[in-house]
Amino acid sequence: MTTARWDIEAVRAAFPALAIADNGKSRVYLDAPGGSQVPARVVERMSEVMLRSCANEGGAFRTSHDSDRIMMGAHAAAAAFLGAQPDEVVFGQNSTSLIFHFSRMVARDWRPGDEIVLTRMDHDGNVGPWIIAAEERGVTIRWLDFDPETFEYRYDMLDELVGPRTRLIACNHASNIFGTVNDVARIVAAGKAVGAVTMVDAVQSAPHLPIDVAAMGCDLLAGSAYKFFGPHAGVMFVAATLRDRLAPLKVRPASFDMPWRHTPGTPSFEAQAGTQAAIEHIAWLGEHCGGTGAEATLRQRIVAGLEAATAYEASLMDRFLAGIMSIPGLALYGIVGRNRLDARVPTFSFRLAKRSPQEIAAALAEENIFGWAGDFYAHEASGRLGLREKGGVARLGLSHYTTADEVDQVVEAVARLAN
């Protein structure tokens, strides 16, 4: 439970970029769903790795031992972050590449007539790779839809979609366009009941909510470190049972042991070190704002940090929704109920009657407010809502480093654009 107060000044002081102003105008970073800002400790750790211990792993000398240690530390930290074991963690370039990589292995024994379930809500990073694998194997794709009124999955379809031929279900924990937090445990359970591989995309939830792969029960789960305050890198959880069953896509001399079993080639040691530092930032939030002591385990401090961030972000969401929903001509694509804040992350997509999303993003940029316009590769969702041809939506993402004043500032700016 959160007992300490959210120390927004200390949180912001951890991120040098938040202090930058251009021509006297502070930057308002509401672009976090595309990529978050980075605490100094992440960059310091990465530059230390590159300046003082830059070597490949597995050698007899000091800097190579450093690389071995960096990998061990990063895998342990990512495991604590996800509720997994260190040998169930694979680092890669980003989530999409990791999903492509695992899709090749998972699909190897699919047969024509088999089926997979994909969703109309996911980012294409958790759709496209599976479509390609299905096409190669003659496998039928069945689609889990969402309700365009509630922006939630049509859980009522699961019984009809999932059957004895289902080989895979891929879904997302939080939508990158609607912000909906989905009941992935329910979807995973439906897949598990028929022996399907279950894949969860946690790219948008990981910066906001504690991830617990054991509670979800999934086989695979992907996250991108640059969305949770780290460097450009991806991280995949692969459950031990699936990990050992998959015939690894590895070159012959590479070890069958983890992480090499599922890590082709030389990884970015500096990105792994930076990812560990980003996770340590979240653990620091647990100590500083979440009421845990430094003696608590890394996992306990991470969970406390994210729970405290969730509570703070809920107050920002409430403020944002109260302001934005009174703007005439504004249509929000996502859950609006201020009593349902636990069903969403602070990612808000909307359109204005009189301005295109691109005009909104450009006008906000003029005020040094950074936001997005487009469909953000939520390809099925934007197609399903007929938004793809219309420039998509404008998207603003709040973060644990956003202030209430910034929320007010952007609400006022959007209100001016609505006229």
Ligand X SMILES: Cc1ncc(COP(=O)(O)O)c(C=O)c1O
Q: Which residues contact ligand X by CB under 6 A?
A: 94-96, 123, 125-126, 172, 176, 201, 203-204, 224, 234
Q: Tokens 């996992």 sit at which residue?
A: 299
Alpha-carbon span 57 to 153, nearest angstrom: 44
Q: Smallest distance from the beta carbon of 33 to ligand X, in angstroms?
A: 6
Name the minimum Å distance from CB 95 to ligand X: 4
Shortest separation between residue 293's beta carbon and ligand X, angstroms: 34
C-beta closer to ligand X: residue 201 or 287: 201
Residue 10: CB atoms within 10 A of its CB come to 12
Query: Going along 69-156, which residue ranges are E strands?
Result: 89-92, 115-119, 140-144, 146-147, 152-153
Tell the smallest beta-carbon distance from residue 416 to ligand X (Å): 28
Closest separation between CB of residue 342 and ligand X, Å?
19
Distance CA 234, CA 271 (A): 9
Give the pairing type, strands 89-92 and 140-144.
unpaired
Are 224 and 33 in contact, with CB atoms under 8 Å apart?
Answer: no
Nearer CB in complex with ligand X: 308/345:
345
Distance CA 28, CA 240 (A): 42
Question: Which of 33, 122, 20, 36 has the alpha carbon at shortest distance from 401?
Answer: 36
Phi, psi dihedrals of residue 159, rounded to the nearest 5°: -55, -40
Query: b vs e for 62-85, b when ≥16 Cβ sit within 10 Å of the residue's Cβ?
Result: eebebbeebbebbbbbbbbbbbbb
Contact indicator for 220, 200 with CB cutoff of 8 Å: yes
Cβ proximity to ligand X: between 304 and 378 the closer is: 378
Is the CB of 179 or the CB of 391 nearer to ligand X? 179
Q: Which is nearer to ligand X, 123 or 299 (CB)?
A: 123
- Closer to ligand X at the Cβ: 53 or 95? 95
Residue closer to ligand X, measured from CB, 70 or 99: 99
Please check whether residue 289 is in contact with residue 12, taking contact to mean a CB–CB distance below 8 angstroms. no
Query: ∠ at Cα 229 (306, 284), nearest 5°?
Result: 45
How far apart are CB 226 and ligand X at their closest, in Å? 7
Residues 339-368, buried b or exposed e (16+ Cβ, 10 A)?
eebebbbbbbbbbbeebebeebbebbeeeb
As measured in angstroms, the least distance from the Cβ of 133 to ligand X is 17
Taking the least distance from each CB to ligand X, the nearer of 31 and 287 is 31
Among residues 284, 375, 260, 334, which one has the least CA distance to residue 41?
284
Query: CA 9 to CA 349: how far, in whole Å?
Result: 28
Choice between 31 and 201, CB closer to ligand X: 201
Q: How far is the CB of 106 from ligand X (least distance, A)?
A: 17
**CA dist., res. 30 & res. 256, Å (int):** 43
- Least separation in angstroms between residue 179's CB and ligand X is 11
